[in-house]
Amino acid sequence: MATEGQRGHRARKRFGQHFLVDRDIISQIISLVQPRVGEVVVEVGPGLGALTKRLAGKLPRVVGVEIDRDLAAVLREKIPAENFRLIEADILRIDWSDILREEAGEKLFLVGNLPYNITAPFLFKALAEADRVRAAILMLQREVARRLVARPGSKEYGQITVLLAMRAEIELKVEVNRRAFRPVPRVDSSVIEIRFAPEPRFAVRDERHFTTVVRTAFGQRRKMLRNTLRGLASIDGRDLLPDIAAESGVEMTRRPEELSVEEFVCLSDAFSVVRDQQP
């Protein structure tokens, strides 16, 4: 995150840069950053360093990951190196386990004002790295934030809602008007807190297959499950969908946005049970 308190840097569209200028919002975000002993605080996209400077003043150690080389140069000049380490790289491409090893940490605590164009890839990256992350305080486009906390049956409820809910609890913390940024974006934002669980929050036989079932179901979200899942339920030309429906208790005439996480677990487990029963 960053403010536009320094002259000379023009926000770059290719990096989706919008600098936070509202000091009250910055203070609220700082108050939410409460790492535990052994956790490494990583700020995604420190920008011009307004939040970074506050974090470095509050915490014994902060790691920043910044893709923009010009902003990285600003950060090196502004933030004391005693307790701040800057990694000039793309957060989506680096190995997060390297940060933990190099910092001798146990878990990551992420903070960031995510550019809209990397929000989905970042969330899926965080999901893939869930074993290494304990919590995250993130600023997102409001529409995306509401999707993450959506309930079954709502239009916001989708693939990312279900997959993240399997490994994390998510809470809306702060609503942020678009005028809190420079340049002003076209949409409002929200700050969310994500708390990752050390294990899947719901017992499932095959976590990888669960992901496949969810992705396949939401691949055509307006269609009934009997249409979207038929390909997964076919073995040697045999349609196992009726048996899977009976085993799971999930009606195949329903649509994916109607199913709870627990029902997706039942559906995924039913695939495994029925397939194991085949000769």
Q: Is 171 left (phi over 0), alpha (psi -120 to 50) or beta?
A: beta
Q: Final residue of a domain: which of 136, 163, 196?
A: 196
**One domain for residues 20 and 103:** yes
**One domain for residues 177 and 87:** yes
Q: Does the residue 90 lie in any domain?
A: yes
**One domain for residues 42 and 179:** yes
Contact indicator for 237, 276 with CB cutoff of 8 Å? no
Residue-by-residue DSSP string for 36-52: PTTEEEEEE--TTSHHH
Contact indicator for 164, 136 with CB cutoff of 8 Å? no
Specify the residue for token string 């002003």: 184
pLDDT exceeds cutoff 50 at 37: yes
**One domain for residues 67 and 164:** yes
- The mean pLDDT value of the chain amounts to 91
50 closest CA partner among 76, 87, 19, 15: 19
pLDDT exceeds cutoff 70 at 141: yes
Mean pLDDT along residues 31-35? 98
The percentage of residues in the chain with a pLDDT greater than 70, rounded to a whole number, is 94
Tell me how many domains the chain contains. 2
pLDDT at residue 39, as a whole number: 98
Q: Does the residue 4 lie in any domain?
A: no
Q: Final residue of a domain: which of 196, 225, 258?
A: 196
Mean pLDDT along residues 4-22? 56
Q: Does the residue 3 lie in any domain?
A: no
Find the CATH number of the domain harbouring 224.
1.10.8.100
**One domain for residues 60 and 174:** yes
pLDDT digits (tens, 9 = 90+) for 194-231: 999 999 999 999 999 999 999 999 999 999 999 999 99
pLDDT exceeds cutoff 60 at 267: yes
Q: Does the residue 31 lie in any domain?
A: yes
Contacts of 216 (CB under 8 A, 6+ apart): 228, 229, 231, 232
**One domain for residues 214 and 124:** no
**One domain for residues 94 and 137:** yes
**One domain for residues 172 and 218:** no
Q: Does the residue 51 lie in any domain?
A: yes
Residue type, 81: A
- 181 vs 213: CA distance, rounded Å: 39
Mean pLDDT along residues 13-19? 56
Q: Does the residue 201 lie in any domain?
A: no
Q: Does the residue 8 lie in any domain?
A: no
Q: Final residue of a domain: which of 196, 217, 234?
A: 196
116 closest CA partner among 142, 91, 136, 98: 142
Q: Is 213 exposed, middle or buried (0-12, 13-18, 19+ CB in 10 A)?
A: buried
Q: Does the residue 99 lie in any domain?
A: yes
Contact indicator for 111, 44 with CB cutoff of 8 Å? yes
- 218 vs 160: CA distance, rounded Å: 10
Return the SS3 of 138.
strand
Report the DSSP pairing between strands 133-141 and 107-113. Answer: parallel
**One domain for residues 184 and 222:** no
**One domain for residues 49 and 164:** yes
- 102 vs 92: CA distance, rounded Å: 18
- 96 vs 119: CA distance, rounded Å: 17
**One domain for residues 88 and 63:** yes
Q: Tell me: cis bond preceding 185? Omega within 30 of 0 counts.
A: no
Residue type, 70: D
**One domain for residues 172 and 223:** no
DSSP label of 256: G
pLDDT at residue 5, as a whole number: 40
Q: Which domain holds residue 219?
A: 207-276
Residue-by-residue DSSP string for 179-228: GGEES--SS-EEEEEEEE-SS-SS--S-HHHHHHHHHHHHTTTTS-HHHH
Find the CATH number of the domain harbouring 23.
3.40.50.150
pLDDT exceeds cutoff 50 at 13: no
